[in-house]
Structure 1
Amino acid sequence: MTVVQNNPEVRVLGKPQNFSPPCCWFPLSRQKTILEYSFKFLRVSAHGQGIPIEAAMESKRFRYVSTRASKSDSMTYSFQDVLLKGFAPDGGLFVPVEIPKLTEAILQEWSRLTYPQLVVAIAELFISPEEIPRIKLSQLIQDALGSFRSSNVIETHHLTAPGHASVIELFHGLTLAFKDLAMTCTAKFLEYFLAQSQQHMNIIVSTSGDTGAAAMSAFRDSPHVDFFVLYPLGRVTEFQELQMTALAATAKNLHLFGINGTSDDGDDIMLDLFNDSAFAQGHNLSSVNSVNWSRILIQIAHHFFAYFQVHRDGERAPVEIVCPSGAAGNLSAGLFAREMGLPIRLVACVNENEFVHRLLSTGVVQTDATVKQTLASAMDIQMAYNMERILAKNGTNFPQNCSQKLSEVFVSSKTTDAEIRAAMKRCWDEEQYRVCPHTATAIHYHYKQTAVAGGEDTRRACLATASPIKFPEALTEAGVPLPDMTILVELRAKPHKVVQLKDKNSWIPSVRAAIELVSK
């Protein structure tokens, strides 16, 4: 559970027994720097309970290993394994053994693909055709993305000034957030495997705003899944909450819990359940938070698509991909895209919850005592668990040059609420273009860089993670006129359902009881 040290600025997360959830292994000390993550230590995986590395060498790119696997650990896993498990058995996160390197010819070919075609091309590099035949894989992805509000799935807005920046609108799914892109595909993959095996699965996620609705929409009425969502009461927007409560009222397999805490508290609840291995295995428990590799896999496509939108002329000059960052899923996906050969530099933009910014800019692994509530509520996260995919544990030996190594790949930027409001207002005044407060952290970074000598020359893509319509409160605070809010009026009129858990002592017992009930 959460432990607060004598130093009120530092929070240490620790778990009992043998399961240590992502990021909880970080020694949170001002004196220690982070570990360097190196893909050369990643090894191969295979289907089932894991097979020795040597037996899987012929198709390494379809194999996965835990971030915590030692050099002597010979257990590897297939895509189906990592999809269904969510977490690795040792509490780590799954990563592919081999990162395929793309040729210039492939990049040129991919630059002409639509977004769904690009997702298929990338998925084919990480999912064995023996698990999902190529025709079926394409069909699953096309079906998943066919429900989007835009026929293009993703739209692009090119800022007119200053500098060279494109806003990549990832939010045209049914719940108006970028989470729809990976969640719809992940749901299709899971349904495919569960239908084959006739299994039932209980899936749980903790959300800071958008993941909950995206997951509930993707898994609604699934015959093979009961879905459990935890969200922090009073820390999401009205729109986000109404999306979830309305969805919960429409399907028997959706179970929504509002907790009187933070999204990190929700992560703690979820991880406590996984920490009880007997419970997790007995109730076939998994997660599709971005701990799940499937989410990261699909999000790799965001970075390729963004790059090609910036360089529509076929040029191959480097591009900055500016990522609003909460749990660092998009940041992790960008790192894999870069390892595949995409010439990008990654920018992590955070709000006043600056764990990722502090880690990347100084090498110090430290959280604050509390989660700060900000306008960019979906990024109100302290423990960015996907950083474990960027870092590798090696006892307590921290290389002195780790911060320097990370700076070769990442830039980070912290944005205050005042700066978020200013970026939203400036974007409206200069472009007549609305952005959500999360996207505004990326826009703020762009504006800041263009004020620096030479900053206007950098090609830059800002990932727009949610529709501004989901954040009318922030738009009003920023002095930006509201769009047509009919969709919010319609949401208010729908039936709603949620179980509110205000007593901290009731959180885990109540969620456990609900999972046990549907498992009978």
Structure 2
Amino acid sequence: MQYVSTRGSAPALDFEGVTLAGLASDGGLYLPSEWPRFSEAEIRAMRGLPYWQVAVTVMRPFIGDSLTEAELTVICQDVYAGQFHHAAVAPLVQLDQQHWLLELFHGPTLAFKDVALQLLGRLFETFLERRDQRLTIVGATSGDTGSAAIHAVAGRKRSEIFMLHPKGRVSDVQRRQMTTVRAPNVHNLAIDGSFDDAQAHVKRMFNDGDVTTTLNLGAVNSINWARLMAQVVYYFTSALQLGAPDRAVAYSVPTGNFGDVFAGYVAARMGLPIERLIVATNVNDILHRALSSGDYSAAGVTPTITPSMDIQVSSNFERLLFDLGGRDGAAMAAQMRGFEASKAMQLTNAQAQGAAALFSSCPVDQIETARAVQQAYQGAQQIIDPHTAVGLGAAHALAAAGAIDPAVPIVTLATAHPAKFPDAVERAIGVRPSLPSRVGDLFGREESYVELAGDYATARDYVLEYAAGSKA
């Protein structure tokens, strides 16, 4: 399996190469050169398998010769049979006759990012040992990626991580899950500005010769294909439980950077019968505007009770546009140059029509978010976090509008444990969720992080000064 850049001019790489590279050298994102596809019989044969075994089956075609099946099996068993606090890894919970929750928060940091990043940490170490190299990981987080990535690589001898988060714009639990990890290879950086600013700094470092000639850079954000690949698996496991391939399933996905819902698109391209993918946004609704009217124009970021979705530039949307636009790298590069210059872009007819065939979108404001928290609690005694509530609110809205057949189950991705956002949950239902005992005394631990100005040069210079992974 070879991987190509969405912008057409970076060299094609194998799976090991794209895992360690993260962002393509031309600024694009890597995608498989073709989509592997399962037959209905092959999907049906996955029924009843443990999560780790479905993971091996689904991911194997993407990995090619970079790992043997035996090597992949050992990694998946270690990760999915040992690092999660539910035997199913990603269990389904029924809310009513049509609506379900897919709980993705049973990993070490209580968020869906663990499902991919626990695997990515193992892949990094395996490939770096093989190459006898070190890796300097730079990442940006709107909350959950940072803690999941840090927990995946803390203490590993061949990786170090610099994680940028927007100061004051993540929850206390999210921040402490990053800043209380005391390991010499972990660096937490709180920058002035938004997540979009932090993400822009990270992307720029990958194309900054002063950085790339000094350090071997790696990425843990969903710009890294390996992370996105791992997220495809739980679409298969959940759909199988609900009758796939003999029954189609719809998914509602709380969406910020478009990685999680794009994993659903990949699953559909692989043959999984997905009726609809609902892109659920908060008031920072650039993706809703893009999917409903073709207008992909960034505005200012409005802080909300769903901080992980307070995003205006969704990196993985480029992957979708490339695939729907005929995989024309030169055209995609020109389209993205225009967007990066003006922060505005109009989808082509092919992109808009292709997206409409599978995607719907729905913005959910903070009042509607609180109402969805209340509905889950009153109707099914389920306490959900506000991000999950955005997804559930969108699912209810589209079902009520008749956009989804009542016979089709709608699965809302429950992306974080409610105790990560206790204030918002308590305001909605009067109950303050508690952190699971496995998290320990999070608020009794000492924090360690560095505050930086919001400009690019300050972040770059800090990484260059304190990184140990020099190529020299």
Task: Give the TM-score, by structure 2 length.
Answer: 0.90
CA distance in 2, matches of 1:244, 1:427: 29
- Measure the CA separation in 2 of the matches of 1:203 and 1:505: 17
Q: SS where residue 62 of structure 2 aligns?
A: coil
Q: Distance in 1 between matches of 2:68 and 2:190?
A: 40
Partner in structure 2 of residue 188 of structure 1: 122
**Aligned residue number for residue 287 of structure 2:** 356
List alignment gaps of at least 5 residues for structure 1.
1-61
Partner of 1:131: 66
Q: Which residue of 2 aligns with 1:496?
A: 447
- The partner residue of 1:199 within 118, 133, 136 is 133
Unaligned runs of 5+ in 2: 323-328, 336-345
Give the superposition deviation at 1:515: 4.2
Partner of 1:64: 3
Matches of 1:383 and 1:514, distance apart in 2 = 29
Provide the C-alpha distance between the structure 2 equivalents of 1:66 and 1:279, rounded to a whole number of angstroms. 21
2: CA distance between counterparts of 1:104 and 1:122? Answer: 13
Distance in 1 between the 2:321 and 2:448 partners?
Answer: 40
1:263 has 2:202 as partner: no
Q: How does 1:243-258 map to 2 (within 5 A)?
A: 243-247=177-181, 250-258=182-190
Q: Separation in 1 of the partners of 2:415 and 2:205?
A: 29
* 2: CA distance, partners of 1:445 / 1:187: 33
The answer to whether residue 382 in structure 2 is matched with residue 433 in structure 1 is yes
Give the SS at the match of 1:192.
helix
Could you tell me how far 1:220 is from its partner in structure 2? 0.7
- SS at structure 2 position matched to 1:157: strand
Q: Counterparts in 2 of 1:51-130, with a 5 A limit?
A: 62-69=1-8, 75-128=11-64, 130=65
Residue 234 of structure 2, aligned match among 272, 285, 302: 302
**Could you report, residue by residue, the CA deviation over 1:74-127 in whole angstroms, capped at 9, with x for unpaired residues?**
x42100110111011111100001211211110101122222111111121111
What is aligned with 1:467?
417
Deviation digits for residues 357-388 of structure 1 (CA, Å, limit 9, x no counterpart): 111111112111x1111111111111100011
Give the corresponding residue for 1:328.
258
Map Cα deviations across residues 241-293 of structure 1 (whole Å, 9 max, x no partner).
Answer: 1111111xx20000000112111111122122122134223211121100000
Report which of the two structures shows the higher radius of gyration computed on alpha carbons: 1
Moved more, 450-459 or 94-103: 450-459
Q: Which residue of 1 aligns with 2:157?
A: 223
Describe the shift of the 1:220–1:516 C-alpha distance in structure 2 as closer, same or farther (beyond 3 A). Answer: closer
SS of 1:461's partner is: strand
Q: For residues 447 and 254 of structure 1, do their structure 2 counterparts lie closer, same or farther at Cα, with a shift above 3 Å needed? A: same
CA distance in 1, matches of 2:347, 2:385: 38
Stretch moving more, 378-387 or 275-284: 275-284
Cα distance in structure 2, aligned partners of 1:350 and 1:185: 27
Equivalence for 1:448: 397
Offset at residue 449 of structure 1 (A): 3.0
In structure 2, distance between residues paired with 1:270 and 1:317: 41
Q: Which residue number in structure 2 is paired with residue 152 of structure 1?
A: 88
- What is the deviation of 1:294? 0.2
Q: Please name the residue that 2:204 is paired with.
A: 272
In structure 2, what residue type is equivalent to 1:158? Q
- Using a 3 Å threshold, how does the CA distance of structure 1 residues 197 and 410 change in structure 2: closer, same or farther? same
Distance 1:76 1:517 in 2: 29
Q: 2:360 aligns with which of 411, 424, 432?
A: 411
Is 1:389 paired with 2:319?
Answer: yes
Q: Where do 1:232-251 residues align within 5 Å? A: 232-247=166-181, 250-251=182-183
SS at match of 1:456: coil
Q: Alignment identity in percent?
A: 33
Query: Match of 2:349, SS?
Result: coil
Residue by residue, what CA displacement relative to the aligned partner does 1:371-420 show, whole Å, maximum 9, x if unpaired? 11111111111110001110125145964353233111101111111111
- CA RMSD between the two structures: 2.0
Work out the number of aligned pairs and report it.
448
Query: Compared with structure 1, are the counterparts of its residues 516 and 243 closer, same or farther at alpha carbon in structure 2 (3 Å cutoff)?
Result: closer
SS in 1 for 2:99: strand
SS of 1:105's partner is helix
Q: 1:150 to 1:377 in 2, by over 3 A?
A: same
Please give the residue correspondences for 1:204-215 in structure 2 after superposition, counting only pairs within 5 Å: 204-215=138-149
In 2, Cα distance between equivalents of 1:494 and 1:405: 49
Query: Aligned equivalents of 1:220 and 1:189: distance in 2?
Result: 14
Letter in 1 for 2:379: E
Distance in 1 (CA, whole Å) between partners of 2:416 and 2:455 is 30
SS in 1 for 2:296: coil
- Quote the Cα distance in structure 2 between the aligned partners of 1:143 and 1:467: 23
Determine the C-alpha separation between the residues in 2 that align with 1:441 and 1:503.
29
| Matching residue's letter, 1:173 | G
Residue identity in the other structure for 1:192: T
Between the aligned partners of 1:202 and 1:303, the Cα distance in structure 2 is: 31
Q: CA deviation at 1:506?
A: 6.5
How far, CA to CA, are the matches of 1:110 and 1:206 in structure 2? 35
* Equivalent position amino acid for 1:295 in 2: R
Looking at structure 2, the residues matched to 201 and 498 of structure 1 have their Cα atoms a distance apart, in angstroms, of: 21
Letter in 2 for 1:490: D
Q: Distance in 2 between matches of 1:515 and 1:96?
A: 34
175 and 442 in structure 1: CA distance in 2 versus 1, 3 angstrom threshold: same
